[in-house]
Structure 1
């Protein structure tokens, strides 16, 4: 009885966690993959000591995108260097995971094999235990009603009160177990949201850097074209001044005119190219405004990250206090169980004494 109560007190705990993109098979075509979340999510192995089962759980937003109980018949298959899948007949679907590296995929696959083997051993032990305990349960079912039927005295009132106290203790155990389970799920949700915000933060920083790089590149290119245009204007002005200060011959005049026309044509083409580039160049004011908006959003995301980190610390502290409260309640339950056992022994002795007294009378 004490061992069963201790097993009920143990909540479902994570034993391994990683990050991956989650997919599910299309229920219509059974060929295409449908993304279960926009970003990489936390995928964890959980062990339920109460039911002695293993599960793979992943939370995306406010819902579970993976809730798969591992059975000995399941197989995890690597379909590429960074992708793996397994079929869940209970959920009537096929789950797929895309990892950031081949090493993460190998670690998840090895853990899948270990958990599947543990599930197989747990099933075998459960079957053996059931076969061994069934006869004892039948005997207990025949023996237990006897004292209740034959009880007829003041000792019965105490016996029923002990049963009521035991029921209250069982209710308290279930309440503590539920509270601990909710705490674990809440911690997983906070962790998933924290990683999602980190991904958004990294994307915003990358976009800001890219915008700044493009602005600098356009500035340098525009300055280069402006310098070249200014140099050509100065060259034309010099040639015009030379042509006006000297009286060239007809042949030299023709050469100079031709060169001047070529330079004017080149200058015109450069000016058209500059106008074309100005038309293509994004407005610097808009880019600076967009950069400021991105910086503001980045600051807001960082503030939100800090706020979530504080809330996560509070959640961890609350979970720690819950564990301490659970341990305290567990000790009180054990102490109450020992006191109940002592009271039951006293009641048994009292009943024996009363039976002897009745027999002697």
Structure 2
């Protein structure tokens, strides 16, 4: 509607942009019979300034209408609340920071009875992990456990690669989740995120301004999006964890620069891993590279120990910090920097999981599971010869 004028509203409400009393309303919202709240403006200037973000309301309504009249709604597709414990047919109210909105999610996917499961698989509550002494003690893995971790991490890599091959404009993040779920159980593994603290899906899909823990849903990926897919596999009693951020179709130059910088942050951090290095140095390396590139580092989430437990010591911040401890041979942990195009602060959506940038700007993330060796590091989730060539800088 870029050239259209706002129409006279029936009664005074607050301007959707500045909060002043408003008597004008977006004509497209009138046509679509949307509520005046969020569609009223105090002046033509405010309307024009808000148009680029406001117009997404019209697109979302069309998508929702198409969805609501589809057969999928009959299959119990509902919005998620309370970390996955509650479903609702109504989109929750929230002061959204960007243009992205939640969509309904499908039912839990089924895992065959024969597959070994973590202790939260049935009721959503981890039992061993919270009280384990490995929350305060960094484990030195035995040779047997290291070998199991190698096998599990390779499966996780193959699962993520399957998801990467599937990504393109028009697919839903729920369909990505289905690919991850089916590839995981085909390999004999359990998708670790499924029902972990009630998380409702088998992987995390974080689009555009979502920093991490995005829930796969009915939204279709659009040309120009970026999407992070975070995969963790539980196999032979241990977890393997990794993620990557992918381009969907033709992505703008600034987003390409953000994604590449995030990839480089992880690579630079991995390059210093060896016995005797302080855990705090990881954050120093990442923060330096991100800052020099004009980006910021998320502080609410960090890398972590992993093995028989999904999350344990050590915690590894990605920003400048005072974390204690030295790396030692036999330790296994993740490094997973989350880098924002704008400020580092985050907010949490009403679903209790989806962390988004507070300014609505984009965020990217990459993650590997790493083993500290005698002389350096082994990237257990490293790319394979068969991994898809999705990052232009790796083929240059």
TM-score range relative to shorter protein: under 0.3
Which structure dedicates a bigger proportion of its chain to strand? 2
Which structure dedicates a bigger proportion of its chain to helix? 1
Structure with greater Cα Rg: 1
